[in-house]
Amino acid sequence: MNDLERVVAVDHPDPHTFLGLHQVGNDLVVRAYRPDATRVRVLPAGVEAKRIHPAGVFEATFEGQSAPFPYQLECHYGDRVFTHHDAYAFLPTLGDLDVHLAGEGRHYKLWERFGAHVGTIDGVSGTSFVVWAPQARRVSVVGDFNGWDGRLHPMRKLSGNGIWELFIPGLDEGAIYKFEVVSPHGERLLKLDPFAFRTELRPATGGVVHRHKRAWTDADYLTKRASVDPLRRPWSIYEVHLGAWMRVPEERGHGAISVGEGHTGRWLTYDELTPKLAAYVKEMGFTHVELMPITEHPYDGSWGYQVTGYFSPTARFGDPEGLKRLIDALHREGIGVILDWVPAHFPRDAHGLRRFDGTAVYEHLDPRQGEHADWGTMVFNYGRPEVRNFLIASALFWLDEYHFDGLRVDAVASMLYLDYSRNDGGWVANQHGGRENLDAIEFLRELNTVVHETHPGAVVIAEESTAWPAVSRPVYTGGLGFTFKWNMGWMHDTLAYFQMDPFFRRYHHQKITFSFLYAWSENFVLPLSHDEVVHMKGSLLRKMPGDEWQRFANLRALYGYMWSHPGKKLLFMGGELATYSEFSESRSLDWHLLEKPLHKGVKDLVAELNAQLSARPELHDNDIEHTGFQWIDANDNEQSVASFLRWDQKHERFLVCVLNATPVVRHGYRIGVPRAGLYREALNTDSIDYGGSGVSTGQQLVAVATAHHGQPASLAITLPPLAAVWLELVPAV
């Protein structure tokens, strides 16, 4: 098959070698493939092109000319006439170095070259497209602009590893497009651009040509972030699902953005969320917001954890610039923003990454390696350099282009273990016969190394649910290199303890003391996340035992214990409202509950806990070191009381923390303290201000020089029921 026949069959790997402007002997010829055109002229010369193939290939000859010249094509379709520059008259927009680095897996800013980019070449404006489809026979750019006809804009294959490129003149921002990919077996696939910067609102699945143009105002914030060790900062993270945090209840299924049947109210846009969320988070004293995945995803019920757009924010809440304005506003208030990022798996949707060119490109071919049966999703092939590059570029993209302060990496355990959630015979061992995913380990180490080197002060947080060692230890010491790790063991033990009837807690005292045996083995975040309040698990309030008063008291005590425990804090939205309902992506939080004193009391308590966390170095600047903690008494299981000290980094300031996990008021309870003198309540979760019974620890809290609990001094206090109390030494005048 010659070049002409291959172009007509739309099966040419490099149509530029035939179409466009070419020297033929002593003449120049312009060839164009315009199916269905009745006539083609080359402008400005006005030379009529001859039809050299009935399918619509035209050729115009310029005799005796050898110097290339700019031209346009005037294409006639009956009475309709269209004039445009020829896509096949331009040199490649991707250089040899880009191709080499992409093939090597070291092009960390791949998004700057791949995908769709509006630009100008030789004075002609248009959009360049680059995509990786290594086994494809042909790739075309299709969209509204060409009637979704894959014959009109086939791309050229630039390299042996399957990078395809095309510049389409005249195509501007806002154009909807996909790639039509022809597999090795001739199957035609319509695929979303893996590097699309913007997408259509579901159920539509096209990419939208987009130009990044935000003028940021957070330079001072980013400079300060880079100058502070994140391990020594206070961290209180508010986890948010943007679609369910707050809605417009009076607009149901209509308005700026429709949410579909079965949903209550419409979503707020990024711009509508900006003033509300920024003001609320600042009021509550949270230091960071963690956004559940806002990368584009087809199914609302996945909450964003089945991603199709690794470079595009979801269109559910508006355009990409709206998300930037939201992050910029939070930064102006000094609030960091974390992105929940999902490199562990991706969905099977036909327009997504699965079998991108008809073969296993991003995933393993063997389902024992390439599929998560439990989730119905595909597993990335971390051993492929191009796939690692794609994912690391995605991570850096969100830090660079959207100024996120870090990433929370979802489902790390599923990446680390080849037999994760697999039966015997359903997985493939590594080269040493083990269950460790060696490729995933190297990917995570590379990811964390690059992020920390290129973005000072940014963090990478692992949701890792096993006892894998050194998750948050540096790569150069053999660790995975994460900044923090979620403490899932603490979460499970703590919730199990607080869900228990107080009468039985004496028999399970170790559930609130055991975590201190490993609290400094990693840099931990203590999470009470969305995972604990979904799938019939009930809200945090519903988990608490007893009558209504006891439920609220238990929840307040839980928060007091959590905020005094070493480790950074994370609370899922609604936890501060003490909601009755568990999380659903289809409705707003129950903001009306704040009209009730008990619910408002919990909200006020969380705000106070956050304020004290930020103001007290003893609660945050040394929580990654064992020297920041000291037991007073870990063994009073009979009374279900735990008491300990929190020390600052200089070991000058300390806070006395006591938890009474029973509804019994304990008078004259003696605890050892480091110094004699006058003490006062710093926090009491049983305070009337928070909806408690108002039992005070005492009027005069005087510690005398009588040793107790291994401390040189001691004092007797009243322990309020189902409460956490903090005491501080009053400075001598």
Distance CA 599, CA 578 (A): 6
- Is 495 in a helix, a strand, or coil? helix
DSSP category for residue 721: T
Residue 410 annotated among the catalytic residues of the structure? yes
Structure tokens at 635: 């063994």
DSSP category for residue 342: -
DSSP category for residue 326: H
Query: Which has the closest alpha carbon to 197: 175, 230, 215?
Result: 175
Task: Report the relative pairing of strands 50-53 and 57-62 from DSSP bridges.
Answer: antiparallel
Q: Considering 321, 410, 604, 728, which one is annotated as catalytic?
A: 410
Q: Considering 463, 532, 604, 623, which one is annotated as catalytic?
A: 463
Distance CA 405, CA 316 (A): 22
The b-or-e profile of 685-707 (16+ CB within 10 A means b, else e) is bbbeebbbeebebbeebebeeee
Structure tokens at 325: 């304005």
Cα–Cα distance list, 370 to 150, 360, 380 (Å): 30, 9, 7
Task: Report the relative pairing of strands 20-24 and 27-33 from DSSP bridges.
Answer: antiparallel
Q: Which residues contact 314 (CB under 8 A, 6 or more apart)?
A: 199, 294, 295, 296, 297, 304
Helices (H), ranges, 113-253: 219-227, 242-245
Residue 149 annotated among the catalytic residues of the structure? no
* Sheet of strand 723-729, all strands in order from the earlier edge strand to the far edge: 629-636, 641-647, 654-660, 723-729, 677-684, 701-703
Angle among Cα 721, 724, 725 to the nearest 5 degrees reads 105
DSSP 569-614: EEEETTGGGT-SSPP-TTS---GGGGGSHHHHHHHHHHHHHHHHHH
Cα–Cα distance list, 304 to 293, 299, 570 (Å): 5, 8, 19
Angle among Cα 262, 264, 267 to the nearest 5 degrees reads 110
Active site residues: 410, 463
